[in-house]
């Protein structure tokens, strides 16, 4: 039987609400898996176990009183290292930043807490979040649970690796040129890059910077497409500074079946070359190939959902990027959900079941 740790976060929340499992009980299960599997994968690099246990106990007490906190009540989760959590370091993989502790939570962290989640750690990144792998001199390299000699991608590589290995319930990363989608693809999980501006960036920064970077977005990663829509709903909406005059309400998808969608597929293209060369399926390809299509959707602010779509002959996961119109986030997520139910969903990597 597949470990409960691989269940979608929405199912975990349902089990908690129906009192099939306790919040602290589920947290301890993930912590046991963290102790067992994380040393090999090195996905979770910062923890607040005492604080998480305290919150999980409070979540159990609240539920006993009939007072659920939100849609993810009691679900254990981690978050990308680049998000501020009060009292924990935010290094962005930069040596010397280890003792710089955040003074306040990022907006995304506050929204996850409001949704009821129990955050117990932070996941690894490359230095400055600026690479397609997840190594830095502070925390070392994160490995892909499908093949420990390979990278999970970057920059949200720790996020995707933790999900694939069943070390966390749900995750949040950030993305400019594929930092959510590349790791989701490499690790066989789901990731959503929202329409630019849909989710507030406050607290996803070194120091106390308030201004967000152009193109940059934050968004959820999960083991099921069914988790992406409620996770996006928890994260989306204007920050408190803009909330008095702005609201976000992405339209509902108009299609309900895969056959109803009209899809454009690009089979070949010419890219700007890059000096870095990779060998893929026996062919030498420029590094620019990995970034071009993911980067293009970011450049024009469009939403994109990464979803599992099969395996290579060597048994490694393959993903597909689903791009939609501006604010068509719920449509790309729904398309991923339809693919999940009719074709293939998340598969746990061998050795972690």
Among all residues, which ones are annotated catalytic? 80, 155, 179
Reported as type and span, the H/E element at residue 293 is helix 288-299
Q: Is 60 helix (H, G, I), strand (E, B) or coil?
A: helix
352: phi then psi, degrees, rounded to nearest 5: -115, 0
Beta-bridge partners for 217: 175
Reported as type and span, the H/E element at residue 112 is helix 107-114
Residue 202 near residue 208 (C-beta atoms within 8 A):
no
From 296, 295, 292, select the one nearest 274 (Cα to Cα).
292
324: phi then psi, degrees, rounded to nearest 5: -130, 180
Q: How far, in Å, are 128, 222, 331 from residue 82 at the CA level?
A: 9, 18, 28
CB atoms within 10 A of CB 277: 11
CA torsion sign for 111, 116, 120, 125 is negative
Q: How far, in Å, are 63, 335, 336, 349 from residue 342 at the CA level?
A: 35, 11, 10, 21
Q: How far apart are CA 30 and CA 166, in angstroms?
A: 8
Q: How far apart are the first and last CA of the chain?
A: 8
């Amino acid at each position: 039987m597949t470990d409960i740790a691989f269940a979608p976060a929405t199912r975990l929340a349902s089990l908690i609400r129906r009192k099939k499992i306790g919040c602290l009980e589920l947290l301890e299960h993930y912590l046991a898996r963290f102790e067992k599997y994380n040393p090999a994968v090195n996905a979770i690099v910062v923890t607040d176990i005492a604080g998480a246990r305290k919150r999980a106990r409070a979540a159990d007490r609240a539920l006993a009183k009939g007072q659920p906190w939100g849609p993810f009540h009691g679900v254990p989760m981690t978050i990308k290292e680049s998000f501020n959590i009060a009292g924990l370091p935010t290094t962005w993989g930069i040596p010397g930043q280890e003792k710089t502790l955040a003074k306040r939570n990022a907006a995304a962290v506050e929204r996850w807490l409001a949704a009821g989640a129990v955050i117990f750690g932070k996941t690894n990144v490359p230095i400055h979040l600026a690479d397609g792998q997840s190594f830095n001199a502070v925390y070392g390299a994160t490995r892909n649970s499908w093949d420990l000699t390979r990278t999970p991608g970057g920059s949200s590589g720790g996020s995707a690796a933790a999900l694939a290995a069943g070390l966390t319930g749900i995750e949040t990363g950030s993305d400019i040129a594929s930092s959510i989608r590349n790791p989701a693809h490499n690790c066989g999980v789901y990731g959503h890059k929202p329409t630019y501006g849909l989710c507030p960036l406050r607290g996803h920064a070194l120091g106390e910077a308030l201004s967000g970077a152009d193109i940059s977005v934050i968004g959820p990663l999960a083991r099921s497409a069914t988790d992406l829509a409620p996770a996006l709903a928890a994260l989306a909406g204007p920050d408190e500074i803009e909330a008095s005059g702005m609201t976000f309400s992405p339209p509902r998808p108009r299609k309900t079946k895969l056959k109803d969608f009209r899809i454009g597929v690009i089979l070949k293209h010419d890219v700007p070359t890059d000096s870095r060369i990779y060998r893929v399926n026996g062919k030498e390809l420029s590094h620019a190939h990995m970034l071009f299509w993911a980067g293009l959707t970011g450049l024009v602010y469009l939403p994109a959902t990464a979803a599992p779509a099969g395996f290579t002959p060597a048994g490694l996961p393959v993903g597909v990027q689903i791009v939609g119109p501006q604010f068509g986030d719920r449509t790309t997520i729904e398309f991923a959900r339809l693919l999940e139910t009719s074709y293939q969903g998340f598969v746990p990597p061998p050795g972690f079941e």
